[in-house]
Structures are given as structure tokens and as C-alpha cells.
Amino acid sequence: MTSPDPTRARISVIGAGPGGLTCARILQQHGITATVYDRDPGPEARDQGGSLDLHADDGQIALREAGLLDEFFRLARPEGQEMRQLDPAGTITAHLVPQADEMFKPEIDRGQLRTLLLDSLRPGTVQWGRALDRVTGPSEGPRQLHFTDGTTVETDLVIGADGAFSRVRPAVSPAVPQYTGVSFLEAWFSDVERRHPAIAELVGPGSAAAADGERGLFAQRNSGNHIRVYILRKVPQDWISASGLTIDDTEGIRGLLLGEYAHWSPRMRRMIAENDGPYIDRPILALPVPHSWAHDPTVTLLGDAAHLMPPLGVGVNLAMLDAAELAIALVNAATVDDAIRAYEKTMLPRSIETATILENRADDLLSADVPDRDGGDGVPRIGPVTPLAGEREQLPRGAAAR
């Protein structure tokens, strides 16, 4: 089968996260149609997670290409760039305060970013309640998407933007995520100025992090007077069941944690013990390094589906940069096959280089050293910092090159 012109191809994006939606938006900006399939029954089906910082050298480039940068700045919280490093006693040991006009990496709630992207798409672009089971068909196409509801869709290009446990990835790679040995436990605090004023004061308008080499806490201010705290520990992946607990046993988990953090000050332990509602277990996973695959003319990956790494300087920013580069490649190319080759020629070396730098470095999250910057997932790079690749080059303007 001859690879089709992208303007006439049936393009299917799996996953309505920031990466998948950014890709669809930029394609639509250039007159190329794409359909996004997502397993959630609707856009409000679940909490989208905490605050993100979108960087001027990757995430903001993608939003510029999507024509949404000004709207992002209207929603973003520049004050969220403030970062406090605390010790286990709650004393500030380092304090990064942004300049009044600093916009390198302002914060935005993940849900707000998703809504911004969703609202920019033509009605019907996203099909909700479509959980992908598998991809079949010859590599030269067309491909078949098999959904868990028994329906199928024929398509010319499958873009896997479906995260760590991608159902698209097996079509090009046998790799599966592996546990890094570090786990996050997420805790929520609502109406913090009134109900949790001591925590609000400790965290400030941005983020606060503390670690003692074995365990840590990372707190981030979200919009709407909310704070999320991530309790960082080096534990077996099955630590909850191995302790005779379940994730719903909030009091049991709380008692276990308070014992582990007994030498931390009472004001710091508030972030463990006074949360509103249950904890959320978030083990940190990563794909093997290096991760790549043989070129396939009808399937490609972006974001965590392509290069899941510890949250040490990557994340949503890299996924959105991937999405923008893939979309512009499709705009500029004569065929889908040509576009995938051009995209992967840049994306794969970049992701392999970054993943190699970050391999086996999840333990850095527990370091007591002063942080440098966070990685677009709202998680700070705590501890020794290895510079990643330099600032991203601006993407070519696609329409002019076609």
C-alpha cells in the first residue's frame, strides 16, 4: 500500500492527554483532520492531576504552534514558580523567588490545560468511552483499532499518546514500564487558607520540597485554594499489601507513615496526617533505556508512550514538544511515512539522550540537596542536577514549507 498524503489520511490519536490533544489541535490548525479516542467516559470522568509548569523552551513552543500561548498565559500562575527547599524541621534552606516578569515556566493545573486544549478542537474531535484494546493489520496499512466495546476502526496512522501503559506501544515495541524503586503517595488538601493555614503558610504560593536521603515530601500549590502533597519513599512496589493494608485504609497508612517520619517536625508531619480524603498510590515507573523501535509507516508514539522516565526534568513538556513536532512533520510531508521518519529522526535521539541521563536516578528525588527546577509534572528535580539538552529550537512554520 502506498503511504497516503497526510491531508487525505485517516489519522487516529489514542489518548486525550496534553500530548494527544496538542497534536490534534496543530493538525486542525493546518487543515488536517484527526480523531482522538480516549478511554474515559467524558472529560470530567476523573481528576487530571496536579499543577504543571510549561517551559519556554518546549511546552510553550508547542502551545505557540497550537495558537494557544496567549490563552495559556491568561490562565497560568507565574507566582507558582516560587520554590522552597525545607529541611525535616520545616526550616527554609533555599528559596527560589521568580522575578516579577518571569514567565519561563509558569504553573497551570493539568485540568485547566486539558480544558484549554479540548475547547480549541472542533466538536466531535474526541470520542469518549473508546478504550483501545489492540492494534492489528499490516505495517504498510491500513491498521485496525480494536476497542474494548467490540467496535473496530480502520485507519492510516495510529499515534500512541496513551501514556505509560500504552495499548499502541505493543504494535511497534515489546517494552513495558519497570518500577524504579521509588513511590509517591499523593495527599490532597482543600480550602487550605481556612482549613489548613499552617500548611498553606509553609508551602507558599508555589512549591515546597524536603528530603532526608531516605524519604521526602513535595507540596505544590494548585489553583482554587488547593495543595497537593507527594510523599516520596523508597519502598517495594507492593508495600501497601505487604504491610497488611489496602489503599482505602487511610488511617492505617497514615499511622505507618507517621512512624516512618517520626523524626520530622510536627509542622512537616501535618502534610502527611491532615489530608482531606484517601491517599493515592503512584509508583514511579520508567521504560528500559534506550527505548526505540524499528520504523513503522503507520504507527508512532509520543510522550510517556514513547519515553516514560522518572520525573526528573521531563514530562508533559516533552510530550507536548513531541506532539508539535509530529504535527508539523505531517503538515510538511508528502506522505504519512515521510512524516513519521522525519519526526522519529529527531524525537528518538532526543528521548534516548534524556532517558540515558536520567536512568537509575529516581533516588535523586530523595536527596536533601537544593533543587534546581522541576520537570513539567509538578515534581521537583531534587538533588544533584545533570543538565539536559539545551534550549529547544523553534519549530518551522509548517504551512509555509508544505
Counted domains in the chain: 2
Residue-level pLDDT at 313: 58
Whole-number Å distance between alpha carbons of 95 and 97: 6
**Which of 243, 261, 285 delimits the end of a domain?**
285
**Which of 285, 308, 342 delimits the end of a domain?**
285
Residue 390, number of CB atoms within 10 A of its CB: 7
Closest CA to 370 of 2, 70, 116, 95: 95
Residues 17 and 120 in one domain: yes
Cβ(224)–Cβ(100) below 8 Å = no
The gap between the terminal CA atoms of the chain, to the nearest Å, is: 23
Question: Domain limits at 245?
Answer: 179-285
Residue 248: Cβ-neighbour burial (10 angstroms; 0-12, 13-18, 19+): exposed
- What tens-digit pLDDT sequence spans the chain (402 residues)? 799 999 999 999 999 999 999 999 999 999 999 999 999 999 888 777 788 999 999 999 999 999 999 999 999 999 999 999 999 999 999 999 999 889 999 999 999 999 999 999 999 999 999 999 999 999 999 999 999 999 999 999 999 999 999 999 999 999 999 999 999 999 999 999 999 999 999 999 999 999 999 999 999 999 999 999 999 999 999 999 999 999 999 999 999 999 999 999 999 999 999 999 999 999 999 999 999 999 999 999 999 999 999 887 578 999 999 999 999 999 999 999 999 999 999 999 999 999 999 888 888 888 876 544 444 443 333 332 222 333 334 444 333 333
Residues 165 and 186 in one domain: no
| SS3 of residue 303 by DSSP | coil
**What's the pTM value of the predicted model, to 2 decimals?**
0.91
CATH of the domain at 189: 3.30.9.30
| SS3 of residue 131 by DSSP | coil
Q: What is the H or E stretch that residue 120 is in?
A: helix 110-120
Whole-number Å distance between alpha carbons of 19 and 114: 10
CATH of the domain at 302: 3.50.50.60
Q: Exposure string (b/e) for 210-222, b if CB count within 10 Å is 16 or more?
A: bbeeebbbbbbbb
Q: CA separation (Å) from 159 to 141, 342, 368?
A: 14, 15, 39
Whole-number Å distance between alpha carbons of 342 and 392: 17
Sheet holding 132-136, edge to edge: 132-136, 143-147, 152-155
**Which of 285, 315, 331 delimits the end of a domain?**
285
Rg of the chain over Cα atoms, rounded to whole angstroms, equals 21
Domain assignment of residue 86, yes or no: no
